[in-house]
Structure 1
Amino acid sequence: MPSNPPVDLAPVPHPLWEAVIPAGTHWSGVLRRGIALRIIDLEGGANLSALFYRDDNPLERYNMADTLKAQHTAHLTRGCVLYSDMGHVLASLTADTLGWHDAFGGVGDAKLFERKYGAARYQQHRNAMIRNGRDSLLVELAKYGLGARDLVANINFFSKLAPGDDGSLTFVEGHSRAGDAFDLRFEMNTLAAFSTAPHPLDPAAAYQPKPVRLIAYRAYASDANVPSDDPCRARCAENERGFVNTERLFV
């Protein structure tokens, strides 16, 4: 499946705040409707595992199957939106230098990471400990009263899995370079949880997570609607219906 060609991103207009998620750590926060994040791979080779929930009702959350089938795609890039399991648009990918983000690969757990990288626990290694993606996301979800039963299929931004003729998925090394970035615009008040642990299919023998930078800015006023000619809204008829369903929540 071809990916969109990479494009340069416009400068961030009037940043509201910035943060760096260090390599192999995790972050969470609530992004309000109309806020966007510029997310940047600082060193190259980053993986950002992400989960999304409706802030005022986290029983509604990102749905991988609906997101892909509604937009007739098997990967995410600019023009795609992230659907909840209630048919609302949580967020939109409005810009992207990579052209492909993995929606299938999942996250690694403690057993997988120990088998791949060995053991490096906090008691001996402090901040150099090995953190796996699943436990990192659970740490963040626990801050909001969520737990293992709330884990759903995640997105792995900056990563690409190439499909084989036999249905296999192969991790594409070197897909994301230093400075690669994308913009994620939030269409609902959304709880986001991120982990910078390596992708579970990354073949590297050494544990080498990478940091990412977040830059928040206002894309539109929270009481406004995305225009009809917006590329994410206009991508397909399903997205138009998704935006209408979402806007009705804020009337």
Structure 2
Amino acid sequence: MTRDTSTVFAARDDARAQGGTSADWMPYLPASTSPFVPPGIDPTTLTWAETVAPGGYTSKVVARGTRIRLTDVTGDACAHVLVHSAVAPWERLNVADTQKIPWQAYLGAGHPLLSGDGRVLATIVADTSARHDAFCGTSSDAWNERKYGDAAPEGPSPSGRALFTLAAAKHDLTPRDLPPSVSFFQGVRVEEDGSFRWLGSAGPAEVDLLAELPLIVLIANTAHPLDPRAAFTVGPLRVHAWRATPTRPDDATTPETHRAYLNTVDYAEARGL
């Protein structure tokens, strides 16, 4: 098909003619128009709905109490996730405290994602995968260039770091604001000798995160750095979010996490969040 964009008016008409078209990978605006509304969720309550391309990224500012569902459609998605406080973005995910405070290094339902200030940024409230990773972070340019021959965000095998850099820039964040991330849907375990054992995927699955504070959420859907497959392999990732209720301190299961939720509620209520 030949498209005429030889003049300003022709280009305008060409652009308008494409209105209403859709793609496999796109945000759905308004969110209620998503063709993949989660079962039991009223479409009118959705605040975020998107399908992230393999090798793509997304970001969103969400309110306190937002429930975010990540769906691995094919079993090949790998959702690398970073969360920053939308109130004070220098407060961000601290992977070391996320493992240390709950006395559990492996992510799963009930696990809080903590900042370095002793507050819970988000909680994993549902999980049908149990194949996640809080050790390795995402891939670097050097890693992907060595393994796949390319790491550019617009290329065939983008690194997670490159994708996070683009996502962060949309929120006035720089590479200095990007700490190690957590990864969902591709699992890693630590052996007795300290080496990492690749678990891979459990197949199509879902993970729900609950925002305990207003958050900037950054997601890069790209191959895990320990994925042993020679080819760059990633599947689509669906994201849906709706308003829910933040976790109460009394719902915590250990004294340490109880204190973290108390810190979070105190912070939020003092600011009227």
Which TM-score applies when normalising by structure 2?
A: 0.79
Aligned partner of 1:71 in structure 2 is 102
Give the Å deviation of 1:238.
Answer: 1.3
Taking a change above 3 Å as real, the CA distance of residues 11 and 240 of structure 1, as seen in their structure-2 partners, is farther
Give the Å deviation of 1:250.
Answer: 2.6
Taking a change above 3 Å as real, the CA distance of residues 72 and 120 of structure 1, as seen in their structure-2 partners, is closer
Which TM-score applies when normalising by structure 1?
A: 0.85
Aligned partner of 1:176 in structure 2 is 202
Aligned partner of 1:137 in structure 2 is 164
Give the one of 247, 253, 256 matched to 1:226.
Answer: 247
Give the Å deviation of 1:12.
Answer: 4.6
SS at match of 1:44: coil
Alignment of 1:151 onto 2:178: yes
Give the Å deviation of 1:244.
Answer: 1.2
Question: For residues 148 and 132 of structure 1, what CA distance do their matches in structure 2 show?
Answer: 14
Tell me which amino acid in the other structure corresponds to 2:202: S
Question: For residues 140 and 61 of structure 1, what CA distance do their matches in structure 2 show?
Answer: 15
Give the Å deviation of 1:121.
Answer: 6.1
Q: What is the CA deviation profile of residues 100-146 of structure 1, one whole-angstrom value per residue up to 9, with x for unaligned ones?
A: 42001111122211221123868xxxx66321111100111111221
Identity %: 35
Give the Å deviation of 1:13.
Answer: 2.7
Q: What is the CA deviation profile of residues 134-186 of structure 1, one whole-angstrom value per residue up to 9, with x for unaligned ones?
A: 1100111111221121121110111211222211002213x2312x0011010
CA RMSD of aligned residues (A): 1.9
- Which structure has more relative contact order (CA 8 Å, sep 6+)? It is 1
Alignment of 1:87 onto 2:118: yes
Alignment of 1:243 onto 2:269: no
Aligned partner of 1:190 in structure 2 is 215
Aligned length: 229
SS at match of 1:243: helix
Alpha-carbon contact 1:160-1:172 (below 8 Å) kept: yes
Aligned partner of 1:5 in structure 2 is none
Tell me which amino acid in the other structure corresponds to 1:236: T
Question: For residues 56 and 120 of structure 1, what CA distance do their matches in structure 2 show?
Answer: 32
Alpha-carbon contact 1:12-1:217 (below 8 Å) kept: no
Unmatched 5+ stretches in structure 2: 1-37
Tell me which amino acid in the other structure corresponds to 1:155: V
SS at match of 1:68: helix
